[in-house]
Amino acid sequence: MAVINTALLSFGLSGRVFHAPFIELHPGFRLVGCWERSAKRIADRYPQAKSFETLRDLLADESVDLVVVNTPTQTHYDYAKKALEAGKHVVVEKAFAGNADEAAELRDLAREAARKLAVFQNRRWDSDFLSVREVLEAGYLGDIVEANFGFLRFDPDLSEKSHKEEPSSGAGIVKDLGSHVIDQAIAAFGLPEAVFADIDITRQGSRVDDYFDILLFYSDMRVHVKGGYFFRRPLAEYSLFGKNGCYLKMRSDVQERQLDMGMNPDDSGYGREPAGREGRLYRGGGNGSDQELITAPPGNYMKFYDGMYSAIVDDLSEPVTAADGVRVMRVIDAAFQSQQSGLVVRL
| Residue 285: pLDDT over 80 | no
The predicted pLDDT at position 234 comes to 79
Q: Which of 18-22, 57-61, 164-168, 316-320 has the lowest mean pLDDT?
A: 164-168
Q: Per-residue pLDDT for 154 more than 70?
A: yes
pLDDT of residue 38: 84
pLDDT confidence band for 225 (50 / 70 / 90): very high
pLDDT at 224 over 80: yes
Q: How far is CA 335 from CA 25, 68, 215, 338, 342, in A?
A: 39, 28, 9, 5, 10
pLDDT at 271: 97
Is residue 289 pLDDT above 70, yes or no?
Answer: no
The predicted-structure confidence for 157-166, as pLDDT tens digits, reads as follows: 999 888 889 9
Which pLDDT band holds residue 176 (cuts at 50, 70, 90)?
Answer: very high
Model confidence pLDDT, tens digit, residues 197-218: 999 999 999 999 999 999 999 9
> Could you give the domains of the chain?
4-122+303-316 (3.40.50.720), 123-300+331-346 (3.30.360.10)
Average pLDDT over residues 179-202: 98
**How much is the pLDDT for 287?**
58
- Lowest model confidence (mean pLDDT) among 34-43, 51-60, 178-187: 34-43
pLDDT band, residue 136 (cuts 50/70/90):
very high
pLDDT band for 98, please (50, 70, 90 cuts). Answer: very high
Q: What is the pTM of this model?
A: 0.96
What string of H, E and C letters represents the secondary structure of the chain?
Answer: CCCEEEEECCCCHHHHHHHHHHHHHCCCEEEEEEECCCCCCHHHHCCCCEEECCHHHHHHCCCCCEEEECCCHHHHHHHHHHHHHCCCEEEEECCCCCCHHHHHHHHHHHHHHCCCEEEECHHHHCHHHHHHHHHHHHCCCCCEEEEEEEEECECCCCCCCHHHHCCCCCCCCCCCHHHHHHHHHHHHHCCCCEEEEEEECCCCCCCCCCEEEEEEECCCCEEEEEEECECCCCCCCEEEEECCCEEEECCCCCHHHHHHCCCCCCCCCCCCCCCCCCEEEECCCCCCCCEEEECCCCCCCHHHHHHHHHHHHHCCCCCCEHHHHHHHHHHHHHHHHHHHHCCCEEC
How high does pLDDT run on average in the chain?
96
